[in-house]
């Protein structure tokens, strides 16, 4: 109900220790009832129910400076072509796997890597990429 949480918070709300809460979350992951973020909070991962992805944006303060900059840039643009970004942003996109989705598009036998903001709909991403490839 609260969106993404760490094992410790689950344990506290259920009256379990962190170890048992982690085991419970591990079982739910195996059953694909929940998913795990790559964001780390105090050494622990965030867990959330599929459909709560939008709430992940509440945790950008746990990203490094460059990763937060990359998040904001991608949020504003929606789609960015990898080779047109400065190297530090390119590295940051690879680090923020929850927020930046890689898309490889082939045009004239050449593969181009684009980054899609995680909340951008695929149809809108497709329109933006086609526009970028035509210009």
Question: pTM score, two decimals?
Answer: 0.87
Q: Give the per-residue pLDDT at 108.
A: 87
Q: Give the per-residue pLDDT at 116.
A: 98
Q: What is the mean pLDDT of residues 58-85?
A: 96
Nearest by Cα to 125 from 85, 133, 117: 117
Q: Give the per-residue pLDDT at 40.
A: 85
Q: Which residues contact 107 (CB under 8 A, 6 or more apart)?
A: 133
pLDDT in tens, 104-125: 999 888 999 999 999 999 999 9
pLDDT in tens, 31-57: 999 999 998 887 788 999 989 999 999
């Amino acid at each position: 109900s609260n969106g993404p949480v760490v094992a410790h918070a689950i344990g506290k709300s259920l009256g379990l220790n962190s170890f048992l809460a982690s085991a419970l979350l591990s079982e739910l992951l195996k059953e694909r009832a929940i998913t795990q973020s790559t964001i780390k909070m105090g050494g622990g991962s965030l867990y959330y129910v599929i459909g709560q992805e939008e709430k992940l944006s509440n945790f950008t303060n746990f990203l490094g400076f460059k990763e937060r900059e990359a998040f904001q840039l991608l949020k504003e643009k929606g789609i960015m072509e990898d080779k047109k970004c400065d190297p530090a942003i390119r590295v940051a996109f690879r680090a923020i796997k929850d927020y930046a989705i890689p898309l490889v598009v082939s045009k004239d036998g050449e593969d181009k890597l684009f980054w899609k903001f995680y909340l951008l709909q695929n149809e809108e991403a497709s329109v933006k990429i086609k526009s970028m490839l035509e210009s």
